[in-house]
Structure 1
Amino acid sequence: MLKSYPKTVLWCFLLFSAFFCTKTLAEDYPARHNFNSEWRFHLGDGDFKSPEFDSSSWRKLSLPHDWSTEGEFSKDNPTRNANLPGGIGWYIKKFSIPAEHTEKQVELEFGGIYRHSEVWINGRSLGMQYDGYTTFYHDITDYVNFGAENTVAVRVDNSEHPNCRWYSGSGIYRNTWLTFRNPLHITNWGTYITTPEVSSKKASVKIETAVKNDGKKKDFSLRTEIYGPEGNKIKQISTEKTARFKEKLKINQKIEVDSPKLWSTQRPQLYKAVSIVSSDGETKSRRETRFGIRRLRFDAEEGFFLNGKNLDFKGVCLHHEAGTLGAAVPKGVWQRRLENLRDIGCNAIRTAHNPPSQEFLDICDELGFLVMDEFVDKWENEKFADEHFREEWRDNYLNTIKRDRNHPCVVMWSVGNENLPAGSKEQNGYLKMLGGFVRYHDPTRPVVSGMRRGGDYNVEKKVENILKSCEYMDLIALNYGEQWADELAETNPDKPFVSTESYTYFNSSDKRRYAKIESAPWLDAARSDFNTGVFLWVGIDYLGESGWPKIGSKAGLFDIAGFRKASSYLYEAFWSDKPSIYAAVYKQDPDDFSKTGQWGWPNLTESWNFEDKQTADLAVYTNCKKAALYLNDKKIGEKKLADFPNGIVKFKGVSYEKGVLRAAGIENGEEVCNYELKTSGEPAKVRLTAEDTPREDGICHIRAEVVDSEGRVVKHAENELEFSADGGGEIIALSNGDVTSHRSFSETSLWSAYKGRVLCIVRVEGEKPLRIKAGSEGLESGRIQISPADSSGSNR
């Protein structure tokens, strides 16, 4: 049953915040083991599920793996999947379990398989998982042979194309885990942490723990220990219980935390709960759960509050892939991408349109992002909907809720995206069913759905239909509907508004969607307390959903390599508290957008290489009161930001002169920031720079730039660069950010520069330094050494 919501809707809670191929397991139990290594893979179909099948001639690899990235681009392949192939693939792995662990229980977990996968253990099927984005697991205790070799076989069918609106990838593209438990144990995702009361002085921590006993009747104790952000134990509580055979208990405990350190976007403080089940003087089960203490409040008149502080969602939508890496994205790659978004002032992510990886949410916890966790894109009877949605949605939604509910970053759930017309009986029925299910299992967060904007028609009727469906959502959630926020606020004052999807540059009018008004929808949100913020489409360019010869969308603030685009600088000016300024030259009439799509951006260049006596029009993005232009240190113009309500300062007819054009941000008569465009000479050498240090998984990003003899980047350079690696590690991907390039994603040696640069992603392994070299015919080569110990990167 749906609840009625008061004018102020309040959610307060504390939240969540390769070993064996015929290798014998000898670790202590219970234990969770990475199950990624020593797999065999075959692209093609057949009957390979029998444990007697010899897969030794198949390709050997480690997971995660996306086989679509290894295919050839073809106009005949679906543009939705970046013109890359799908198909059917098989994965097989051999492993052994010691005979002395016969009393243990064994669980196999897959972070994500795209899609229509079936798993066999020793020739016996565990069933089908149709959805390709949901984490799922199986109890395989009754299927494995203790003291003998076991075989797991996985068939993945991604042959029906197109089946997704964007690039999905193919295969076991996320991590896999093998877990061993005692009969008396805490269940998978069995810890649920909330807080009914949070203040600066005290927080009430409620811990619900699911304990199951698959053995004989047992007396046991559950001890929960709370550790602070610095790692010190601050409180503990114990509860005594008895569990009969096959009984599953839910045990509720409460701990008061004094002077809690709250999780916020600026200071994402994280606590840890350690749950320990003991019986007969032994530890039977132990689980660690990371969480954050924070309070959410949504108010129709004042917007969104985190720990009592009013915040706007400065958000972006993100798909699950990462350019040339496809869907199999290392954690270190997501760390760089999310750090880049955070650095421009972004504070929120919509996981469009599926659950993200567990590792993705871990990073969001650590960086302080606010996440709209989305279960699915389409429901059923919609294009690209999975025909099996009806039969498995409850399991998929519940798996995601249980997996993600302890993450402090997750602040709302989205049950779908652009399904059925607003206000229709069919949509309302789904929203009631899906939303009610989610609230039952997690009443601590609002539930929304990214509602379809619909066509252009009577505004009053449009608002009426939107509000009919919003009766079944906790917020008024709408894609591309900022222009109706005032009407919605007047008609329905009881729920705040959230822009679940927004254009980055253009706005619509209340009667015309493709009006191309040069005023970002973010500005509507910034002016309104009723509108809690936006989720831009999109944060980063993505693969698919385009037309040949493009293989991806260019709507992002960053390109598919993760390099900044002009749009990122405008949003840094909008979102960041730090003074910022940026300048670029129009390659079009600065006021004519007839050839620019609604999701597009004006055609700009950062090059300052033109013909003498030519004039240029410039776009300047700043959050400073004034923007001044200097050409070779001579002031040539100054304008007030206040004279440009859309935040886009335009300088027209600037006379070109080779050298340095500097845009300066002025506050109180002083220059507080600047951005330079420089005339470059001919390409002379390749410069390598480490953008980060090797992460926990060894991932490091190296930027290769084509520069002139003075070290200035040649923005128009397209030289083909040759990369090589030597020492402790390897190159795992190259990318230049160009979505029209058809260079094989498997290519890790040769890549052409685009806008004068290429990104080289490496994995540093072992104790030896990794040496990278990049060169091009006629250019001086660049070299860099990355050390696992001292990984700042030495460049020569």
Structure 2
Amino acid sequence: MLKQIKNIKISLVLFSLLYLCLVGCKEESSTIETRLRTSFDADWKFIQENIKGAEVVGFNDANWQTVNVPHDWSIEGEYDESNPMGAQCGYLPAGFGWYRKTIDVPSSWKGKQVEIAFDGVFMNSTVWANGVKLGNRPYGWVSFAYDISDIADSTDQITFAVHVDNDKQPSARWYTGSGIYAHTWIDVKNKTNIARDGIFVTTKGGQVFVETEFAPENKDVKNAVLVTSILDKSGVVVASSEEKIENLNTATKIELAISNPNRWSTETPYLYTLKSELLVNNKLVDVVKTKFGVRDIEWIAETGMWINGENVKLQGVCNHQDAGALGAAVPDKILRFRIQQLKDMGVNAIRTSHNPQTPIFYELCDEMGMLVMDEIFDGWMKKAKNDYGAHFLISGGRKI
């Protein structure tokens, strides 16, 4: 019996080694044909201090805390009336913070366009990759991305460092949180691609109007074709178009028609999927899928909002980014739960008080049938002592 058990153990070990080898080989030889978005949320190193030199690759962060993002360091702190956030921001700590993360560069990234994307960092963030400053983003309620293609091509390992400055308080008239409070991503695509946020869809009746912007590797890219398809919820193609693109440096506008479309409304939030496929020299180089609803909207002064010919009364609420004890780093499932609670109360509209929210919020509202009144800034002038309007949003437009 002992001999049989020993043989079984040896077999299991050999099988495990073989499995790891096969998986490792598969990972090493894998390629990215069009584009790949990978979550970058796990295992960041974090410290709530304003340390100098933490952007340097060899900086020792061994004693830093390991966190997953979304992360809000303010809500983890102690409530104290002496904290500079004060009453309007919840008596919680703010200050400075650093995040760091080191990764190996997969071979599949070489020769591709590679970007690191942030859904939201509050506030005044600066990002480095291998000690190279990628950029600074003062506004805390906006998504942004940086191109790291050259760095990925030239090295086999990248150390990212993010400095967050929420020191000047109060930085709003409400609780803001501090840190990388939303998802992070690595986006890998071909050098010629459909531009980030480069697809804009509008509808009128059964007509669907699509504007597509491109990001060509260079001005000489030719022989391009854009195939645009509309899929219903079952994945069936209900309309399609194929357009030759003479110049990828200008946007392309096309029009499609859906026969007897399912209409989006707050009661029946039906979503179609727009599939955009870019081919160059008969080779598929990019695919982007965009959810959208078919609806006609009209505003009449005497009666208000009309959607698909029906007079809809807005029964709305103002909603901030944070979620009570969870702070500003709100899990996706809590966002869904909250929107559903509001729907169950009879709410059909949300005003984003007083700034844009995270991308997942808008996706859920589209899916669940919630109208959104989207605000970009709290105001064009200062409303809190150290808010964005006080330092960056200057009349005449130095920074927006």
Q: In structure 1, what is the equivalent of residue 288 of structure 2?
A: 287
- Does 1:210 pair with 2:216? no
Corresponding residue SS for 2:262:
coil
Matches within 5 A, 1:316-355: 316-355=317-356
1:468-501 deviations in Å (ceiling 9; x for gaps): xxxxxxxxxxxxxxxxxxxxxxxxxxxxxxxxxx
- Does 1:181 pair with 2:189? yes
One-letter code aligned to 1:218: K
- Does 1:91 pair with 2:99? yes
- Does 1:240 pair with 2:244? yes
One-letter code aligned to 1:123: G
One-letter code aligned to 1:205: V
Count the aligned residue pairs.
366
Q: In structure 2, what is the equivalent of residue 388 of structure 1?
A: 392
Q: Distance in 2 between matches of 1:235 and 1:54?
A: 56
Whether the 8 Å CA contact 2:28–2:107 is kept in 1: the answer is: no
Matches within 5 A, 1:239-318: 239-243=243-247, 248-318=249-319
TM-score of the pair, normalised by structure 2: 0.87
Q: In structure 1, what is the equivalent of residue 160 of structure 2?
A: 152
Q: Distance in 1 between matches of 2:31 and 2:155?
A: 15
Q: Distance in 1 between matches of 2:368 and 2:42?
A: 29
* RMSD (Å), alpha carbons: 2.0
Q: In structure 2, what is the equivalent of residue 675 of structure 1?
A: none
- Does 1:80 pair with 2:88? yes
1:345, distance to aligned residue in structure 2 (A): 0.8
Matches within 5 A, 1:629-708: none
Change (3 A) 1:232 1:392: farther
Percent identical among aligned pairs is 34
One-letter code aligned to 2:278: V
1:217, distance to aligned residue in structure 2 (A): 2.5
1:95, distance to aligned residue in structure 2 (A): 1.5
Q: Distance in 1 between matches of 2:29 and 2:45?
A: 20
Whether the 8 Å CA contact 1:25–1:97 is kept in 2: the answer is: no
Q: Distance in 1 between matches of 2:260 and 2:394?
A: 46
Whether the 8 Å CA contact 1:98–1:146 is kept in 2: the answer is: no
Q: In structure 1, what is the equivalent of residue 62 of structure 2?
A: 56
Matches within 5 A, 1:247-646: 248-384=249-385, 385-386=387-388, 387-390=391-394
Q: Distance in 2 between matches of 1:325 and 1:259?
A: 44
Whether the 8 Å CA contact 1:114–1:172 is kept in 2: the answer is: yes
- 2:122 counterpart (101, 110, 114): 114
Q: In structure 2, what is the equivalent of residue 627 of structure 1?
A: none
Whether the 8 Å CA contact 1:275–1:288 is kept in 2: the answer is: yes
Change (3 A) 1:25 1:154: farther
Query: Does 1 or 2 have the higher relative contact order (CA < 8 Å, sep 6+)?
Result: 2
Q: In structure 1, what is the equivalent of residue 6 of structure 2?
A: none
Q: In structure 2, what is the equivalent of residue 124 of structure 1?
A: 132
Which of the two has greater strand per residue?
A: 1
Q: Distance in 1 between matches of 2:54 and 2:365?
A: 39
Query: Where does the alignment leave 5 or more consecutive residues of structure 1 unmatched?
Result: 1-22, 397-796
Which protein has the larger Cα radius of gyration, Structure 1 or Structure 2?
Answer: 1
Q: In structure 2, what is the equivalent of residue 222 of structure 1?
A: 226
1:26, distance to aligned residue in structure 2 (A): 4.5
1:646-682 deviations in Å (ceiling 9; x for gaps): xxxxxxxxxxxxxxxxxxxxxxxxxxxxxxxxxxxxx
1:367, distance to aligned residue in structure 2 (A): 1.4
Change (3 A) 1:381 1:316: closer
Whether the 8 Å CA contact 1:24–1:97 is kept in 2: the answer is: no
Corresponding residue SS for 1:226:
strand
1:248, distance to aligned residue in structure 2 (A): 2.1
Q: Distance in 2 between matches of 1:81 and 1:145?
A: 43
Corresponding residue SS for 1:258:
coil
Q: In structure 2, what is the equivalent of residue 40 of structure 1?
A: 45
Q: Distance in 1 between matches of 2:325 and 2:212?
A: 41
TM-score of the pair, normalised by structure 1: 0.45
Change (3 A) 1:100 1:137: closer
1:565-600 deviations in Å (ceiling 9; x for gaps): xxxxxxxxxxxxxxxxxxxxxxxxxxxxxxxxxxxx
One-letter code aligned to 2:277: I
Q: Distance in 2 between matches of 1:274 and 1:382?
A: 43
1:389, distance to aligned residue in structure 2 (A): 1.6
1:127, distance to aligned residue in structure 2 (A): 2.1
Whether the 8 Å CA contact 1:96–1:146 is kept in 2: the answer is: no
One-letter code aligned to 2:294: I
Corresponding residue SS for 1:70:
coil
Q: In structure 1, what is the equivalent of residue 3 of structure 2?
A: none
Q: Distance in 2 between matches of 1:24 and 1:165?
A: 50
Whether the 8 Å CA contact 2:191–2:217 is kept in 1: the answer is: yes
Q: In structure 2, what is the equivalent of residue 578 of structure 1?
A: none
Q: In structure 1, what is the equivalent of residue 7 of structure 2?
A: none
Q: Distance in 2 between matches of 1:206 and 1:113?
A: 33
Matches within 5 A, 1:769-780: none
Q: Distance in 1 between matches of 2:290 and 2:366?
A: 13
1:415-471 deviations in Å (ceiling 9; x for gaps): xxxxxxxxxxxxxxxxxxxxxxxxxxxxxxxxxxxxxxxxxxxxxxxxxxxxxxxxx
Corresponding residue SS for 2:139:
coil
Q: Distance in 1 between matches of 2:214 and 2:185?
A: 21
- Does 1:133 pair with 2:141? yes
1:363, distance to aligned residue in structure 2 (A): 1.2
One-letter code aligned to 2:312: L
- Does 1:68 pair with 2:69? no
Q: Distance in 2 between matches of 1:325 and 1:114?
A: 15
Q: Distance in 2 between matches of 1:374 and 1:187?
A: 24
Q: Distance in 2 between matches of 1:258 and 1:339?
A: 31
Whether the 8 Å CA contact 2:170–2:384 is kept in 1: the answer is: no
Corresponding residue SS for 2:182:
coil
One-letter code aligned to 1:60: T
Whether the 8 Å CA contact 2:97–2:165 is kept in 1: the answer is: yes
1:354, distance to aligned residue in structure 2 (A): 0.4
Change (3 A) 1:168 1:274: same
Q: In structure 2, what is the equivalent of residue 191 of structure 1?
A: 199
Change (3 A) 1:373 1:113: same
Q: Distance in 2 between matches of 1:395 and 1:252?
A: 31
Change (3 A) 1:178 1:100: closer
Corresponding residue SS for 1:144:
helix
1:93-141 deviations in Å (ceiling 9; x for gaps): 1122234643201111111101111001111112211111111111222
Whether the 8 Å CA contact 1:101–1:146 is kept in 2: the answer is: no
1:268-306 deviations in Å (ceiling 9; x for gaps): 010000100012332101100000000111111222101
Q: In structure 1, what is the equivalent of residue 18 of structure 2?
A: none
Q: Distance in 1 between matches of 2:399 and 2:195?
A: 16
1:35, distance to aligned residue in structure 2 (A): 1.0
One-letter code aligned to 2:135: G
Change (3 A) 1:158 1:226: same
Point out the more displaced range, 296-305 or 375-384: 375-384
Whether the 8 Å CA contact 2:32–2:189 is kept in 1: the answer is: no
Whether the 8 Å CA contact 2:111–2:153 is kept in 1: the answer is: no
Whether the 8 Å CA contact 1:99–1:147 is kept in 2: the answer is: no
Whether the 8 Å CA contact 1:25–1:96 is kept in 2: the answer is: no
Q: Distance in 2 between matches of 1:121 and 1:147?
A: 11
Q: Distance in 2 between matches of 1:348 and 1:277?
A: 36
One-letter code aligned to 1:185: N
Q: Distance in 2 between matches of 1:107 and 1:80?
A: 36
